[in-house]
Structure 1
Amino acid sequence: MSDDIFAEAPASDAPSAPTASSTPSTPSAPSTVDGYAGDPAVREEWDKRYADRQQLWSGQPNGALVAEVAGLAPGRALDVGCGEGADAVWLAREGWDVTALEVSGVALERAAGHARDAGVAVRWVHAALTDAALTPASFDLVSAQYPALLRTSDAVAERALLAAVAPGGVLLVVHHADVDAEQARESGFDPADYVWPSTVVALLDDAWVVEVDEQRPRPAPDGGAGAHHTDDVVLRARRVR
């Protein structure tokens, strides 16, 4: 989810969704995405959030993604919660073979249009991470930028992130460091209910090397729902086997 999952978010602000349906977008034939087979209330909630604005996010790739991917050789990338597609399009322009997940069909239609305009191909998957039926260990980069992933007692979402990374690949999880938990709870949801870099770190074993785990100033986007956040927590971990 680009920029900020907590900006004017609904109470059930998490993409717990169904099985995957995907169509590649090409410069000559931009895709449309349908086939969402899960709880319609989840999709409708996110579709409404996107439909309420002509553009929800800044339209620019997230700064932490740009910084952390700069030295990586392009390979297969998974963009978790791709929103309107800015990160996915940027990765594709950089030479990555991109698969992008999102629960909102409205967002995916916009994302496909941006890919068409940019002349790049992206595979759009209308599903949540935990229900996307991804091939295990198949991505050289798994990027979750401010993800709206609900925590569970068995850490399904965190384990899905880890499982998607190929040996030698990188997991990048970025979230806001300056969320006002009290204000969020007053709005009807609790940040503690969501996956954070710290909950992912807690599951890492000796198959992983943590390359970055820090709080840093956030390059502020020009507009978009998350522009008011100033600091990020950034986790970059490499799977060594």
Structure 2
Amino acid sequence: MTDTHTPTAEEFWDARYQASDRVFSGNPNTALLRETAELIPGRALDLGCGEGGDAIWLAEQGWHVTATDISPTALRRGADHAATAGVGDRIDWQQHDLANSFPAGAFDLVSAHFLHSPVELPRGEVLRTAAGAVAPGGTLLIVGHAGFPPWEAEPDPEVHFPTPDEVLADLALPMDRWDVLTADTYQRPLIGPDQRPTTRPDNTLRLRRHPA
């Protein structure tokens, strides 16, 4: 009998993390380092935190972080890494399928890095909810891919990576209450499958909500 079960988003992502001991490097994302360097630490929300590289770095800088992911395996690893780094008490790890639930509260920084998914994810809706979670005077940071990695032999022509302007338009924010601080494309350094240094184009959109 053929198995016709279609994995849920949680099953898909948890299987990906369970397939190896570590999926990501554990280092914070390049854009996070650059775009938050001058911010005063407060409350941060890390959406799609994975194994916690960004959340742990933010906690080390003095932020109190709510870190969310759909994968229980990723969250357990993140909590373990945070404890080893000595910042476990500064991070609240929460499991959310962002298509169905979202952390409560308002945050001085809401960070969403690479919310791309091969399984269904209402990315625009999630990012609009993220904007609503930014406290007055706070920052919204959205980083996404701008193209396929250079080793992708047959990139899917149906896949569209939205530009910063497209993301901004989809947010539908009242622009008399927000300032656009960064809207650009940059080349992120990384190591390819052949272990050679290369780059991948990514987009950054950073906005500041006006103080109340």
Gaps of 5+ in 2: 1-5
Distance in structure 1 (CA, Å) of the matches to 2:80 and 2:154: 35
Offset at 1:223? 7.2
> Quick check: 1:239 aligned with 2:206?
no
Contact 1:139 1:164 (C-alpha < 8 Å) held by counterparts: yes
Which residue, 129, 141, 144 being the options, matches 1:175? Answer: 144
> Quick check: 1:185 aligned with 2:156?
yes
Which amino acid in the other structure matches residue 234 of structure 1? T
> Quick check: 1:80 aligned with 2:32?
no
Offset at 1:228? 5.5
- Deviation string, structure 1 residues 155-197 (Cα, Å, up to 9, x no partner): 42121111111110000001122227994537xxx533x7764
Gaps of 5+ in 1: 1-38
Distance in structure 2 (CA, Å) of the matches to 1:112 and 1:128: 18
Which amino acid in the other structure matches residue 208 of structure 2? R
> 5 Å matches for 1:107-186?
107-120=74-87, 121=89, 122-135=91-104, 138-148=106-116, 150-151=121-122, 155-179=124-148, 183-185=154-156
> Quick check: 1:94 aligned with 2:61?
yes
Distance in structure 2 (CA, Å) of the matches to 1:95 and 1:41: 35
Considering only aligned residues, what root-mean-square deviation do their CA atoms show, in Å?
2.7
Offset at 1:204? 2.6
Which amino acid in the other structure matches residue 57 of structure 1? F
Which residue, 15, 19, 23 being the options, matches 1:48? Answer: 15
- Deviation string, structure 1 residues 16-59 (Cα, Å, up to 9, x no partner): xxxxxxxxxxxxxxxxxxxxxxx972211111101111111111
- Deviation string, structure 1 residues 117-170 (Cα, Å, up to 9, x no partner): 00102101100334334335x100000111136347xx4212111111111000
| DSSP-derived class of the 1:230 partner | strand
CA radius of gyration, larger in: 2
Distance in structure 2 (CA, Å) of the matches to 1:127 and 1:239: 25
Return the structure number with greater strand share: 2
Relative to 1, partners in 2 of residues 1:204 and 1:184: Cα closer, same or farther, differing over 3 Å?
A: farther
Report how many residues are paired: 193
